[in-house]
Structure 1
């Protein structure tokens, strides 16, 4: 059994001669107080390589209770201590790391007590009490607002943080006073029902990991496999579908034949992975099939962390865009009134993760080409052929609004750095914004809009835009948003969309728009929904999530 020893030089304590039997509360209380009085630095080291993570809050907690121990009674661990250790062990089902919460030290101390190796000195009991308190505070803080700072570069997260005080110390005091450790600790978790559903999925993935026998070799195909075709990869694909319970066990006559019974399993699997359920086994389907339970444990963990970052305000009406799901939902009174496929930013022109209030719509919009597209796309195209602007129904304008004839300019001397004009596309069916745009002013110049390229919504990979969000059902969204303005009937909305004249319509209330990046969630019926990490953010976030707690600025500060 690994032993953890006090670093004696860190404390000015009177340990010699202390009897190895149960001690009075006063002795343990005195030792708790001395830990904070005698520390020579701000690290508050208790054991070798064991530090108090939240010294200020731990000190405040004990100061409020006159340094009385919290987890020990008559020299013995209370049932609350045992219940809390059980909860720490299960931190992995929140996608967290139990060792962050002093689990090795807690286990070592509990094991020694249970084997009656020693009752422990007052100093040891005090240290154990502090470790349990520190673990509760840190665990509760991570449940409430996450372990990793959402503002870290790898997260790409710019949604406003929770503004409320979690009142962790009160939660701890109440938990101990009422004897309800689990209830009060779990109260710090996000209140979203999806969080609890995702936890259950994570438990299942841990269970599925135990079912793996042998190696999980990657499937590789050169061309897509269609139903009724034969392929050497079919036996392994069938095994994967059986493993994930997408197929019932059945007898097959040709092991390499993609038969009709497999087809339904493939389609169900594709549906859960956000793919077109056409039954064709292509690269995207194979990529999803190659994920093993450990991969999905990691994916679930990082998305539980993302949910912990979200503000805990319950919204009655909002628009939710999930970049990784290529989708937009309009939600009111907890009902999804509209679901629409969406197109989001390419990997190198990523749609940002943020929130902002939607305030107005624009029918038959013009499109002023943003600087990035102007620099990378439009100017190079015009330099090759000045007719490009007319072919796209675009006009060259000065910043005061005067039109300029592109044929009068020496384009060989013009570059993106010295370009003194604007390029604006007139309204019409070929306008890049389509027939309506939905505005929620923000520093990213990102908004939701229609598109003339309707065929792109049928693709599995819809990371195709320059950052803005194109939706498949713009009329339906406009109709719902203007439902409280009776003059805006469906007929009038259609007329405005096709008028060829730009028209702004203000909303009567601000509607929050939340743009998320979730690559995993669990649906209301318990179905796990797995999405491709199109921006490749999960791995970097998982590394931070599993990194040992350190004062390196990468992790949340309480």
Structure 2
């Protein structure tokens, strides 16, 4: 809002002049010419051409009545506030559009302006509702299907609605989006006052330390809201509690010691935090759709999986996600969980079978004996009579499977939402990894720290004894599929900035570097921080 006040005043005056000019334009004698101009101007856009053809080429914006005035007013009011949403001011060419409106003298001019206004409206509507960027173009592993609305429908619904209310309804109406916008505005105010202050010039700070580094850390934590103002230069108990709270809010081990990870987070600038929030707002627009009364939210950067019921968290567990290697990173997408498999067989993906296990089998045919090989007919293959050295990644003819067991790579249960990426949630025998701060070790699937409890919660909607049902199947030792009577949407997200209903905003590391790519793409489209907007 701060950076748009001057523009808003200028727009208001210019709108007054333009509206007066438009309302003075003769109407009836020039109706046919205006419609012809609209038809010609809309030819290059099939959606616009279809809308105006169906509407009899009646103008939306350049009419003489109150409705047209209110529509113009609502559009330009929205365009004056695009910075609030982290959108690009240059993308909509507002001043150029206003100049075109002011200069319109003939019916031909009005037709051209009419279509130009509609094009800008459609661009803004899609940008603010479902994002400026196409996710997969930014990163091939963001395979999310954005819920785009038909462009023609925007115009059809707009003309039937209150212009102001329609424009207000376009951005995501989620509490998360509203809170992100609020945090952005607060940090922009702080940025204008110098941000977080001097960075902490230290390699490590522990309780009991004193000196310049401690003072710098104290001052930054004060400006971040973790401490009340004080003059202490010692790393005392109060400062340690502030450090621990900071660590919790940044996904760090809350040991109260400022080591490498904590100092890196502390020294992250307010500008970088605002960038993270703007990226999170774009991501929220990509998922601007109903997520389900009950749904599962996996935040890759937070290493967590959460079950949400009617907007409230009902279950949470730690996760291990894909390693930061190009063919192991976990993708981002949404799908629907349909069933769980208790005592699962691990069908080893071909990429793992040929890249990891084939070289081992070439060296020693009796290696990885916990795995079984099967031919095309599903028969178990004897290793003794097989020369593995003759095979390559291209011609390896066998399927590799691991039978159900406690040592199975999938553990004792997996949760299935069939998808083309072969990603699912599952148990694991490697329990030690869950105690680590950063947990990116898998081949791409999501491992759960509390898989049994996760299963109980899912089954609680269809049985009064979810634990008993689960263990009844588990104790047989046989692979068993248990269908979910109500399928549950699963959203695999990637949020380095996210909010809470109560409490401070949360920040996480950009573990795969995806948010950096998104920010760069947004910059290329003209998005900039308030202090450096030209």
Q: Output the TM-score relative to the length of structure 2.
A: 0.81
- Residue 300 of structure 1 aligns with which residue? 277
Q: In terms of mean alpha carbon deviation, does 307-316 or 194-203 score higher?
A: 307-316
State how far apart, in whole Å, the 2-side matches of 1:74 and 1:449 are: 61
Report whether the alignment pairs 1:389 with 2:365: no
Q: In terms of mean alpha carbon deviation, does 93-102 or 538-547 score higher?
A: 538-547
Deviation readout 1:118-138 (Å, 9 max, x if unpaired): x97457777666554443332
Report whether the alignment pairs 1:136 with 2:121: yes
Following superposition, the deviation at residue 216 of structure 1 comes to: 6.2
- Residue 478 of structure 1 aligns with which residue? 455
State how far apart, in whole Å, the 1-side matches of 2:48 and 2:91 are: 17
- Residue 519 of structure 1 aligns with which residue? 496
Match of 1:170 among 139, 153, 156: 156
- Residue 241 of structure 1 aligns with which residue? 221
Q: In terms of mean alpha carbon deviation, does 149-158 or 340-349 score higher?
A: 149-158
Q: Which runs of 5+ in 2 are unaligned?
A: 1-20, 527-534
- Residue 131 of structure 2 aligns with which residue? 146
State how far apart, in whole Å, the 2-side matches of 1:444 and 1:267 are: 38
- Residue 171 of structure 2 aligns with which residue? 189
1:273-422 mapped onto 2 (5 Å cutoff): 273-310=250-287, 312-348=289-325, 349-386=328-365, 388-390=367-369, 393-422=370-399
Following superposition, the deviation at residue 341 of structure 1 comes to: 1.1
SS class of match (1:510): strand
State how far apart, in whole Å, the 2-side matches of 1:23 and 1:439 are: 65
Report whether the alignment pairs 1:228 with 2:219: no
Return closer, same or farther for 1:268/1:25 CA change in 2, 3 Å cut-off: farther
Return closer, same or farther for 1:214/1:496 CA change in 2, 3 Å cut-off: closer
State how far apart, in whole Å, the 1-side matches of 2:72 and 2:372 are: 72
- Residue 455 of structure 1 aligns with which residue? 432
Following superposition, the deviation at residue 534 of structure 1 comes to: 1.3
State how far apart, in whole Å, the 2-side matches of 1:102 and 1:142 are: 14
- Residue 78 of structure 2 aligns with which residue? 87
**Cα contact 2:337–2:417 (8 A) shared by 1:** yes
Deviation readout 1:39-97 (Å, 9 max, x if unpaired): 6994xxxxxxxxxxx6853894598475557368699x957645543432221221211
State how far apart, in whole Å, the 1-side matches of 2:395 and 2:148 are: 44
Residues matched between the structures, number:
500
Q: Output the TM-score relative to the length of structure 1.
A: 0.78
State how far apart, in whole Å, the 1-side matches of 2:361 and 2:216 are: 52
Return closer, same or farther for 1:199/1:384 CA change in 2, 3 Å cut-off: same
State how far apart, in whole Å, the 2-side matches of 1:231 and 1:362 are: 57
Deviation readout 1:214-270 (Å, 9 max, x if unpaired): 9865x5755x54333457643333232122111111121x3xx43322212222222
- Residue 3 of structure 2 aligns with which residue? none
State how far apart, in whole Å, the 2-side matches of 1:303 and 1:31 are: 47
**Cα contact 1:435–1:498 (8 A) shared by 2:** no
State how far apart, in whole Å, the 2-side matches of 1:78 and 1:168 are: 18
**Cα contact 1:398–1:420 (8 A) shared by 2:** yes
Return closer, same or farther for 1:155/1:208 CA change in 2, 3 Å cut-off: farther
- Residue 545 of structure 1 aligns with which residue? 522
State how far apart, in whole Å, the 1-side matches of 2:140 and 2:391 are: 38
Following superposition, the deviation at residue 474 of structure 1 comes to: 0.8
SS class of match (2:319): strand
Following superposition, the deviation at residue 446 of structure 1 comes to: 1.2
State how far apart, in whole Å, the 1-side matches of 2:34 and 2:218 are: 60
Q: In terms of mean alpha carbon deviation, does 89-98 or 26-35 score higher?
A: 26-35
Deviation readout 1:323-366 (Å, 9 max, x if unpaired): 22211112233332211111111122111222222222211222
- Residue 101 of structure 1 aligns with which residue? 92
**Cα contact 1:58–1:134 (8 A) shared by 2:** no
- Higher share of residues assigned helix: 2
Deviation readout 1:402-455 (Å, 9 max, x if unpaired): 334435444444443333223322322222111111112211111110111222
- Residue 199 of structure 1 aligns with which residue? 181
State how far apart, in whole Å, the 1-side matches of 2:85 and 2:156 are: 22
**Cα contact 2:43–2:49 (8 A) shared by 1:** no
